[in-house]
Each structure stands twice: as C-alpha cells, then as structure tokens.
Structure 1
C-alpha cells in the first residue's frame, strides 16, 4: 500500500504505438482527481526528468511515476491511471483486489497482442476501436492503488 501521498502522476507511454497514444489521449480527456501528465517513453524529456528509470523497459511496459518518486509498471500502472480519474476511482480500487485482477490481466494480454500485431511505429495508423473504460485498465494482484 502507498504510504506517501500522490499529488500528480506522469504516464510514460510509447509514442510510436497507436494503441498507447489512443489510451493516453483518452486518459487525459477524463475528469481527474489527481492530475495526469504524459511524456513519451524513451524521449529526451523522459530521460531528463527520470534518469533513474530503465528507459528501454518503459518503451516495453507502461510506467507511471508519482510526483514523490513512486513508480508503477504494467498492470499496477493501469490501475493507478484509473485511480486518478474521477469517474473510475472506485473501479480502480476493485481492480486492485484479487477479484478484479483477472479482468485487468486479460485486458493487458489483449493490449499486448494488439501491440505485437501492429508492430513498432504504428502511431500514425488507424485508431483502435474505443473500449469501455474499465477494459482499458489492467491490473494484477500485486497492484496497490493509492487509497
């Protein structure tokens, strides 16, 4: 569980992935309880702001950084993103439980298959179909959404 309060979150996303760009845009359009910022993973800005991160890994796996240095990756990162949203915080709390984890895991696997099928450099490609908000936020049992 999180012991340090979070005032803002920065999402590191793959700017060359159409799905990642679509999800970033969706997240940033939502009413937020905790401000979300987005920075392209592996970019000069990301390396400058977060020199301690493994930037090659941030290109393979969604990474979210809290304003106090907290880092979430993969499934936990998606839950933290949902936790920041006004309409989805209750869902994020549920997804962080063992009961919600299978739904998030399945969504993460589907997103990974989509990314793998599209390959690198697909940001300019067709926008993926809109998904229900709860299906855009994977999480596993190891997630501990801020509460």
Structure 2
C-alpha cells in the first residue's frame, strides 16, 4: 500500500444489528458523495472475503472504513473520513481532523458508542426496544 495514493473509494463496515448504525448507513447512502462509499455489514461473509487481513471481531466493536489503497480507519478517524467523502460535509471533516476539531469528533464517536451499547443491551421487543424495526432512544442516565 502506498500511503500517498489517492483514495478513490471507501468501504464502510457497519454493525447491521445496531439500529443506530443502520440509520447512519441509510443517511450516508442518501448523501451526495465525492468519494463513493460501499457499505458492508461488519463481520459478514462479504467483509471477510474483501478484507481477510482485518480482525472482524474488532470491526463489530467500532466503525471501520477501508480505502481502496488498503488504508484502514477506525473509530474517530473512520467517522471523519466518512464525512470527508461527502459533498456537504467535507469542509467539516477537514476541521474535525485538526487539533481544534478532533475533540469534538472524538466526543461524538464516544456518545454514539454509548448510545449504541445502551440500545444493544435492551430487549428487542420490550419497552423502548426495537420491535417492528422502530427503535427509541435509550433513557438518559442522570
């Protein structure tokens, strides 16, 4: 892999069992893209075939994005590169990658991870669960 090679396509590995992740997948697909995004369920047969060198258990724990040149972005860097690929959000991605913006990107990723874990811990068909494909936000802890 040449670290200086331009990124022409990105593959986003997302947790298909996570309502938040699936929502963000749909949001990404609805955005105008400067760099094409392929969205593939993390840990799936397709993901394992495309990227046999990745630890697929890790890709289920945090968002992972793989560039067509073999670049691998995880967690905060993955979110930033996803925004960088979008027409309307590239300027924001550039700012989030700076020392001034990075704490905001990191806080967003941590908040999303906490919300995601709260959703996964709830029964799918219980109060506030994800019955019939609808998920409510988990309650905010005091």
Q: Tell me the TM-score normalised to structure 2 length.
A: 0.84
Q: Which residue of 2 is the match for residue 140 of structure 1?
A: none
Higher relative contact order (CA 8 A, sep 6+): 1
1:15–1:6 Cα change, 3 Å: same
Q: Which sections of structure 1, spanning at least 5 residues, go unmatched?
A: 129-147
**Does structure 1 residue 126 correspond to structure 2 residue 109?**
no
Specify the SS of the correspondent of 1:34: coil
1:69–1:127 Cα change, 3 Å: farther
CA contact (8 A) 1:22 1:127 kept: no
Q: Tell me the TM-score normalised to structure 1 length.
A: 0.81
What is the CA-CA distance between 1:127 and the residue it aligns to?
A: 6.2
What is the CA-CA distance between 1:126 and the residue it aligns to?
A: 1.4
What is the CA-CA distance between 1:17 and the residue it aligns to?
A: 0.1
Q: Which residue of 1 is the match for residue 56 of structure 2?
A: 55
Cα distance in 2 for partners of 1:50, 1:109 equals: 25
Q: Which sections of structure 2, spanning at least 5 residues, go unmatched?
A: 125-129, 138-142
**Does structure 1 residue 75 correspond to structure 2 residue 76?**
yes
1:6–1:127 Cα change, 3 Å: farther
